[in-house]
Structure 1
Amino acid sequence: MGIEMDSLDLLVYFVLFLYFPGLYLFYYLKEISEYPSLHYQSNPWNDVWIPSLARLHRVYRPFFFAYNRHLMIFAYLWKERFSRRIAFQEEILQMKDGGTVGLSWYGLENAEAFPETPIVVVLHTITGDAEDLRLTVSRIRERLNATVVVCIRRGHGNLPLTKPSINTMGSTLDLQEQIKHIRNKFPKAPLLGLGISAGSGLLARYLGESGKKCAFSAAMAISPAYDIEKAFPRVHPTYSRLMALRLRQYFLKRHETILKDKYGFGILDSAKTIHEFQDNLYHIADHPDRNSYYRDHNPIHVIGEVDVPLLILNAEDDPVCVKENVEENLHWFDRLPKTILVKLKRGSHIAFLEGLSAKSWSDELICDYFERMLELFDERF
């Protein structure tokens, strides 16, 4: 059914776009443009800031030339690939168990000169690093004049894998050490957390585990999957196969020397879908079985303990983190007083391009939201 709907959507797109531009414009304005859908608990906190965030109450117009979810992902990847390079300052941290993680800083000199400069801590995608988020990092730096630091997980980017263990969802223990290092370096700076795709799962897990002791003043999650045990089997079949191939190449081939003797390496190397890969990852993620892996890393188990302001952004046409994941978890937004869901019908997976120029709507929302949170934080303290 999903494939048939994709085909119909693409057919409508190409027929109208190529042969009936007037009808295409009418269809785009009437059926494609939309107001964001908001889900949250009405309370004094939300009733103050949500009405004041103008972007949440304006029409979102998806990328005019590629609103289809597959075309939008392609456009997003194209923009990222050919975006301007920026100079990150890299810092490597050694963990107590011998593992290696990193911090990719942008705007570090600003934080050193002005110790109270806000720091946005970014958690990257499942096979990404700071280089894959250049446009988002640049926009945050430009609009908020904030320092941005991307927390690089084990085995990602150019980091050596110094311990034979891989976890695609990351480790909250590692993240706690990275945040501790950032906090020790800049004790006066407010910290804001941003998770993107798989990084949003790590963010949610950290927020839930830390509760009231969370280091972030506010946080935002882009395209989360909620319950990862249910989410990975639901990934669109084409993307599931492509992501499995990418995971095998990114982790197993790049780190084959240190991982090849681990029991389960061959099982993962033959995985044909992201679900098969993820469901057997416990073999090389230092867990005795599948249940213990999901117990320790599935964000859904601790989401009820989130205490800081959290904005979540999802798209109904996301082929990776599908709408069923969101619908099953709407009840959390009635229970969590500082958590809000912003949902769009179109935006695909972490893309959310808009207008004629394919500008990132989500990047602007990130900046709007963090700017408003910092204002409220200043007003309260």
Structure 2
Amino acid sequence: MQTIILLFFSILVFGFLVYYVFHVIEIPILRFHDSEFSAKIISETRKLTNRYFPTIWCFNQHLMLFLLMFRENRAKRFPYDQIEHLEMKDGGTTGLAWSGIQSVNHKDKTPIIVVFHTISGDEQDVKGTVSHIRKTYNWIVVVCIRRGHGNLPLTKPIINTMGSTSDLKEQLDHIRKKFPNKPLFGVGISAGSGLLARYLGESGKKSLFRAAVAVSPAYDIEKAFHRVHPVYSKIMGQRMINYFLKRHYDSFSKVKGTEELLRVKTLGEFQDKLHSVSGFKDKETYYKNSNPILVADQIQTPLLVLNAADDPICVNQNVLENLHWLESLKNTIHVHTKRGSHIAFFEGFTAKSWSDQLIGEYFQTVLKLI
């Protein structure tokens, strides 16, 4: 009997390993406009052409998300050197969380990596990316904290889950004045990639970034938020209510439309009704001024875009609908993996972040070329 059980177990293990080798391990699919710049980036950035080995005990998209959230909740807070509060022109408050500025040589060309956090996050929910860049490259990192997020005071009852490019431009002007000689690189994580893409599209050739990376973007947010996996959509919808409205209820209680927002059930519904607390007259105006897809084809900055086909939040349909312009946008490389879930992209037995390693390698390659 024991022999039969052992044989059965061995067959299961062998079958699992065969499945992992042939259906999980992969070389990412790259889509790009053929150019000398893109060719050099691809040839010199190993992560783009090497095999991606998703964590063998955690390659399911839901397990990856669970592990990501578990780690974020259990990990110690990242010790930023300084958190600045910035007053915007309209009286609102945003923030900048700095790491690596305690001993800065203002004359050298050490880059500054500007990071944009997730939809209901702050400087702590991108601490894995920040920590990797600091430990591996010793570059300066600054996280742009959007109004209403983290521990920032809400000095004006206006929030936008996707962020505001007018706020971002003020933040970037502040960064540029502080470090006028250092090259800037941008990293957008999830919703942060939407803000980054919107800025890059609006700015065109005037963008302050030398290069940028967008991790798990949703593209057309008017469609994408209605495609989120139903379970996550309900969870995130309630998260939006608790994080923004209930936490800042004193500020929003007298704003028309707040009570209606408090009754929504999904993330898509929340986004469709967000205009009432975002300073826009209606849904159409909100999306016209916030949706990154409307200006994405105007991006001039070299850009690396990363999506996983099994992403349950920014689903694969969003990617497939936008390949036509992704493949034709100059100096843009789209990296498409089968596994990775939403912004997780765990690799190896210890579940390290493959995407964080790719971000660092990409910028390191760009630095050699500029």
Question: TM-score surpassing 0.5?
Answer: yes
Question: Alpha carbons of 1:18 and 1:156: their partners in 2 closer, same or farther (altered >3 Å)?
Answer: farther
1:91 alignment counterpart = 84
**1:71-99 CA-partner distances (Å, limit 9, x unpaired):** 01111122223334321110010011110
Which deviates more from structure 2 when the two are superposed, residues 85-94 or residues 323-332?
Answer: 85-94
1:9 alignment counterpart = none
Q: Give 2:69's match in structure 1, choosing from 77, 81, 90.
A: 77
Q: Give 1:207's match in structure 2, choosing from 200, 214, 239.
A: 200
2:364 alignment counterpart = 371
Percent identity between matched residues is 53
Q: Tell me, in whole angstroms, the C-alpha distance in 2 between the residues paired with 1:333 and 1:144.
A: 29
1:305 equivalent to 2:298? Answer: yes
Question: Alpha carbons of 1:33 and 1:165: their partners in 2 closer, same or farther (altered >3 Å)?
Answer: same
1:23 alignment counterpart = 15
Q: Tell me, in whole angstroms, the C-alpha distance in 2 between the residues paired with 1:273 and 1:86.
A: 31
1:7 alignment counterpart = none
* One-letter amino acid of the structure 2 residue matched with residue 70 of structure 1: H
Q: Give 1:194's match in structure 2, choosing from 175, 182, 187.
A: 187
For the Cα contact (< 8 Å) 1:83–1:134, is it kept in 2? no
2:229 alignment counterpart = 236
Q: Give 1:45's match in structure 2, choosing from 23, 37, 52.
A: 37
* One-letter amino acid of the structure 1 residue matched with residue 57 of structure 2: F
The structural deviation recorded for 1:108 is 1.4
Secondary structure of 2:197 counterpart: helix
1:248 alignment counterpart = 241
Q: Tell me, in whole angstroms, the C-alpha distance in 2 between the residues paired with 1:374 and 1:84.
A: 31
For the Cα contact (< 8 Å) 1:110–1:117, is it kept in 2? no
Q: TM-score, normalised by structure 1?
A: 0.92
Gaps spanning 5+ residues in structure 2: where? 1-7
Q: Tell me, in whole angstroms, the C-alpha distance in 2 between the residues paired with 1:17 and 1:214.
A: 57
Secondary structure of 2:362 counterpart: helix
For the Cα contact (< 8 Å) 1:219–1:309, is it kept in 2? yes
The structural deviation recorded for 1:18 is 10
* One-letter amino acid of the structure 1 residue matched with residue 175 of structure 2: I
Secondary structure of 2:54 counterpart: coil
* One-letter amino acid of the structure 1 residue matched with residue 71 of structure 2: K
Question: Alpha carbons of 1:59 and 1:253: their partners in 2 closer, same or farther (altered >3 Å)?
Answer: same
The structural deviation recorded for 1:61 is 1.1
For the Cα contact (< 8 Å) 2:107–2:181, is it kept in 1? no
Superposition RMSD in Å: 1.5
For the Cα contact (< 8 Å) 2:200–2:207, is it kept in 1? yes
**1:331-370 CA-partner distances (Å, limit 9, x unpaired):** 1123211111000011000000011110100000000001
Q: Tell me, in whole angstroms, the C-alpha distance in 2 between the residues paired with 1:238 and 1:288.
A: 30
The structural deviation recorded for 1:145 is 1.4
**1:182-201 CA-partner distances (Å, limit 9, x unpaired):** 00000001000000000000
For the Cα contact (< 8 Å) 1:314–1:343, is it kept in 2? yes
For the Cα contact (< 8 Å) 2:233–2:267, is it kept in 1? yes
Q: Tell me, in whole angstroms, the C-alpha distance in 2 between the residues paired with 1:104 and 1:127.
A: 16
Question: Alpha carbons of 1:273 and 1:52: their partners in 2 closer, same or farther (altered >3 Å)?
Answer: same
* One-letter amino acid of the structure 2 residue matched with residue 314 of structure 1: N
Which deviates more from structure 2 when the two are superposed, residues 157-166 or residues 19-28?
Answer: 19-28
The structural deviation recorded for 1:43 is 1.6
1:294 alignment counterpart = 287
Secondary structure of 1:96 counterpart: coil
**1:17-53 CA-partner distances (Å, limit 9, x unpaired):** 9982222112111111111000101122212221221
Question: Alpha carbons of 1:212 and 1:262: their partners in 2 closer, same or farther (altered >3 Å)?
Answer: same
2:267 alignment counterpart = 274
1:34 alignment counterpart = 26
**Structure with the larger helix share:** 1
* One-letter amino acid of the structure 2 residue matched with residue 303 of structure 1: A
1:60 equivalent to 2:52? Answer: yes
The number of equivalent residue pairs is: 362
* One-letter amino acid of the structure 2 residue matched with residue 191 of structure 1: L
Secondary structure of 2:102 counterpart: helix
Q: Tell me, in whole angstroms, the C-alpha distance in 2 between the residues paired with 1:17 and 1:360.
A: 31
1:179 equivalent to 2:172? Answer: yes
Secondary structure of 2:68 counterpart: helix
